[in-house]
Amino acid sequence: MNFIRKFIYFLINIKIKIFGDKKLAQTAHFMLDQGTDFLASIQLKNRENLPYNLTGHTLRSQLRKTYSTESYIEFSTTHTNADGIIFLALNHIQTDTLEPGKYAFDVELTTPDNIVVRILEGIVTVTPSITRG
C-alpha cells in the first residue's frame, strides 16, 4: 500500500534579531488533515536577506489544543545548517489522534549561546478524516 504524504511548504522571510524591542515571531496559520503525514519547511533569513546559518542551533515545536492545555504533541524538528531551512513533521499516527478543530503551535530556536527565541507561532486547523481503518 502506498501512503500519500501531504507536503506543505512555507517560505517565511524572518529577519533574525536576537535582541531588541520588536517582536521576532512571525505568524502562520495552516491546515492539517487528520490521519495523514505532515511536513512543513520554513526558511530563515538574516538581515541581509541571506539564509540564516543554523549551525549549533536546536529547535523545538509543540502543538496544543489551547495555549494553556498541559498535554501536547511534539513536532519532529530538523534543519539544514547553512541553508537556514527548518522542517517540522508529524506522522499519520500522531495526526490521527488529533480531534478536528483549531490548535495553537509555536517554534522555538535555541542559539549556541543558549538564548531561546520564538520564531514562529500560530494556529493549525485539523480537518476530519473520512477514511478510517
Is 84 domain-assigned?
yes
**Domain membership flag for residue 13:** yes
Q: Which of 93, 91, 124, 83 is nearest to 106 (CA)?
A: 124
The domain of 69 spans 5-17+35-127
Average pLDDT, the chain: 82
Find the CATH number of the domain harbouring 55: 2.60.40.10
Tell me if 117 is assigned to some domain: yes
pLDDT tens per residue, range 27-77: 888 889 999 999 888 888 877 778 888 999 999 999 999 999 999 999 999
The whole-number pLDDT of residue 25 equals 79
Identify the band that residue 13 occupies on the pLDDT scale cut at 50, 70 and 90.
very low
Q: Which one-letter amino acid corresponds to residue 109?
A: L
In a domain, 132, yes or no: no
133 domain-assigned = no
User: Does the predicted model carry a pTM greater than 0.85?
Assistant: no
Q: Which residue do the cell numbers 533574525 mark? A: 16
Q: From 39, 36, 63, select the one nearest 123 (Cα to Cα).
A: 63
In a domain, residue 63? The reply is yes
Report yes or no on 112 lying in a domain. Answer: yes
Q: Is the pLDDT higher at 63 or at 81?
A: 63
pLDDT tens-digit profile of 62-74? Answer: 999 999 999 999 9
Reference 88, options 122, 53, 48; nearest CA is 122
| Predicted local distance difference test score (pLDDT) of residue 23 | 53
Q: Is residue 30 part of a domain?
A: no
- Distances in Å between the Cα of 111 and the Cα atoms of 53, 56, 59, 108, 118 are 11, 7, 9, 10, 11
Please give the tally of structural domains in the chain: 1
Q: What mean pLDDT is predicted for residues 3-21? A: 42
